[in-house]
Amino acid sequence: MIELIIGKYNYWIYIALMMIGFYAMIAKENLIKKIIGMNIFQTAVILFYISMSKVRGGTAPIEWEHAVRYENPLPHVLMLTAIVVSVSTTAVALALVIRIYKAFGSIEEDKILEMKGDRTGKPPESVL
């Protein structure tokens, strides 16, 4: 039991981070906070991949006389791609929030939902 908790602590952190992010995405009303939650969620995935490639006492996979065992570089490389994806998603999300703020005058979800479908308010800004 102790081994399961302490020996694999990075996986527990990954689960905790993922749940924090997930909670923020669902429960927070503020659209920016939701994006922060989304980033935490995506970071948790990165931590998971990196944990999986870790080998105790392992070195980077380059030829070296003292190297005994190597870490797997592939998950690291995959996470480079995931970071790019995460950055682009955040950029698109932030751009959307800016336009939502311009069109609705608020980034609180409950206020926006009240205005939704109400066409008497401020006219929508020109597209993009």
Partner 1 sequence: MISAENLPILVIIIPLISAIITPLVGRIHRSIGWLVALLATSLSFAYSLALIRSVMENGPISYWLGGWEPPWGIEYVVTPFNGFVLCVVSFITIVITLYARKSIEQDVSESKIPFFYSLYLLFFTGLMGIVITGDIFNLYVFIEISALSGYALVAMGRERDALIASYNYLILGTIGASFIVLGIGYLYMVTGTLNMADLSARLPELYDSTTVRSAFAFFMVGLSLKLALFPFHIWLPNVYTHSPSTVSALMAATSTKVSAYVLLRLMFTVYRPEFVLTVVPVTKILLILAALAIIIGSVIALAQTNIKRMLAYSSVGQIGYIILGASIANQTSMTGSLMHIFNHALMKGSLFMVVGAMVYRTGIVNIEDMRGMGKKMPFAMAAFTIGALSMIGFPFTVGFVSKWYLAVGALKADMWYFIPIILLSSLLTAVYFWRIVEAIYFREKSEKLAGLPSEPAEAPFGMTATTLFLSLLCIVFGIAAFIPTKVAAAAAKLLLGG
Kindly state whether residue 81 participates in binding partner 1, applying the rule CB under 8 A: yes
CB atoms near residue 44 (< 10 Å)? 19
Counted residue by residue, the chain has a size of 128
Kindly state whether residue 22 participates in binding partner 1, applying the rule CB under 8 A: yes
> How far apart are the C-alpha atoms of 87 and 10, rounded to whole Å?
23
Which residue among 25, 63, 80, 108 contacts partner 1 (CB under 8 A)?
25
Residues 37, 43, 48, 51, CA torsion sign: negative
Q: Which residues bind partner 1 (CB under 8 A)?
A: 22, 25, 31, 34, 38, 41-42, 45, 48-49, 52, 74-75, 78, 81-82, 85, 88-89, 92-93, 96-97, 99-100, 103-104, 112-113, 116-117, 119, 124-128
